[in-house]
Structure 1
Amino acid sequence: MPDSVPVIFDNQTAPTAAQQAVLDIAQQAGLAIAAESDAILQLHIVDDCLVLNDASDAKSQGVKVDFLSGQSQYRRAHGGGNKEPIAKAIGLKQGNQMSVVDATPGLGRDAFVLAALGANVTMVERSPVVYALLADGLRRLAMQEPELASRFSLVHANSAEYMQTQPAGSVEAVYLDPMFPHKKKSALVKKEMRVFQALLGPDVDADALLPAAQAIALKRVVVKRPNSAPFLAQTKPSMAISSKKHRFDVYINV
């Protein structure tokens, strides 16, 4: 992980209320605010959003958390019931207020689907940069849809360590989507994942997440994997639900 990913902001300019809110989130996450930097990965405030940029790529569109994007809203509109494989894997139906820990939230896209279906989702993120991106996404979601935003909780912690502090059976399900080498051909996804991999590095401790998740999940643990990937922690699931590009390995607690 890079030693420093600064937030680039000209501190000689008085920030707007929205910009100050973003700066507050960044400072709470322990990120440095700088007027300029030669760091390859940088955070910028663009249209009142916190955006992660790769300074070495002039064509980079940046990475942000946007729960109000067209993609998110499409999944929300078309993901009712069991139409979304993740919902089927988790055992979530429309309006079910089950509790879920997302221990590897990334940009929060799968967590958004679960919350939109009614789940109360706790996202646990150890990277201060990703934590700040998620917090900013939730800030903007709360301005437009406060009820939906209220279904999210965000914790800045190492997921395995966090789960080890939680009581057995304290959450109905745990969702895991650890980083895996990406083979998608889409240029946009490829660039986005390249920036994330440069930021986070390999998930060398991903196997430790499964036993920690199984210890706190009352009903099940779901692990999202590319179709060709081995089982997490070399542990065979109770069942698997396949989609076009991924499978969801389901570990049922009895």
Structure 2
Amino acid sequence: MSVTIGVLATADPELEALSMAYGLNPLTAPPSEGQYLLWLDGQLQLAEVGEKGRVCVDLVAGAQAHRRKFGGGRGQPVAKAVGLKGGNTPSVLDATAGLGRDAFVLASLGCAVTLLERNPVVCALLRDGLRRAALDAETAPIVARMSLHQAAAQSWLEAAAPQSFDVVFLDPMFPEPEKRARAKKEMAAFQSLIGGDFDSDALLAPARAVARQRVVVKRPRAAPWLAGSKPDFGYDGESTRFDAYLPIKPQGAPD
């Protein structure tokens, strides 16, 4: 499967900017069957040609709005996992940002969040979602605390200064065919396009060197530990768990 940018009506400056930023090829008509298509119709959307399902990043309305208003604030598992309690509002590096949902929740709770995403299609979808959220009065202050970079997590972590973020958050794509089959058809297509993060085990060690307070790994409830490493502590959600690891200080660093 290939990914292309499709301009189905008139050229749009934002779509052109996205295609240039992420190396995606603009078209003037839909591609042949069996390809994925990105286009801008108020919001950037991803779909498989011939299918009705759409994937987009909407941080203003829908599920994200409900979670922002009624999700439980600092009492929800992801907030507890990163250590949002009392006066602690950590800086967070989300090294596997995906569609940015957890990162947006953490930013809505006051965290400064740096987002890394290596896939150019996902990065384009997320950038468009952040752009639109920045235009909304309620979500603009949240987006102001978020910074998106297209980068491979492992190389970025290995090049980062030791202990440069309070928390490193990892949510690698976990390939589970049986769950993918039960997912909504559009999300199943998205997962098929992106694939699993088969190199995710290599992220744990450099993440522990970059974190000052902890590394948090989001996993399906029954998934194995990342890199086979038992967490120091953890938090359970309904369908997921959050494994937490204490940082590893570089040699020679003061205690």
TM-score normalised to the size of structure 1? Answer: 0.88
Aligned-partner SS, 1:64: coil
For each residue in 1:76-132, what CA deviation from the matched residue of structure 2 results, as whole angstroms up to 9, or x when unmatched?
112454321000000024885421011111111111110000001111011010010
For each residue in 1:118-160, what CA deviation from the matched residue of structure 2 results, as whole angstroms up to 9, or x when unmatched?
0011110110100100110110011113321110000111011
d(CA) in 1 for partners of 2:125, 2:203: 22
Give the deviation of 1:237 after TM superposition. Answer: 0.2
Aligned to 1:73: 65
* Paired residues for 1:208-247 under 5 Å: 208-247=202-241
Aligned to 2:253: none
* Paired residues for 1:172-251 under 5 Å: 172-182=166-176, 183-184=178-179, 189-251=183-245
Aligned to 2:26: 33
Aligned-partner SS, 1:167: coil
Q: 1:6 to 1:186 in 2, by over 3 A?
A: closer
| Contact 1:176 1:224 (C-alpha < 8 Å) held by counterparts | yes
Q: Find the partner of 2:106 among 95, 106, 114.
A: 114
d(CA) in 1 for partners of 2:26, 2:107: 32
d(CA) in 1 for partners of 2:168, 2:149: 14
User: Given the alignment of the two structures, is residue 45 of structure 1 paired with residue 43 of structure 2, yes or no?
Assistant: no
Q: 1:190 to 1:216 in 2, by over 3 A?
A: same
Q: 1:211 to 1:41 in 2, by over 3 A?
A: same
d(CA) in 1 for partners of 2:70, 2:123: 28
Q: 1:179 to 1:14 in 2, by over 3 A?
A: closer
Runs of 4+ in 1 over 6 A off after TM superposition: none
Give the RMSD, CA atoms, in angstroms. Answer: 2.0
| Contact 1:85 1:242 (C-alpha < 8 Å) held by counterparts | yes
Q: Share of identical aligned residues, percent? A: 44
Give the deviation of 1:186 after TM superposition. Answer: 9.0
Query: Gaps spanning 5+ residues in structure 1: where?
Result: none
For each residue in 1:143-182, what CA deviation from the matched residue of structure 2 results, as whole angstroms up to 9, or x when unmatched?
1133211100001110111111110000000111111134
Q: Alignment length, in residue pairs?
A: 243
TM-score normalised to the size of structure 2? Answer: 0.88
Aligned to 1:100: 92
Which letter does structure 2 place at the counterpart of 1:207? D
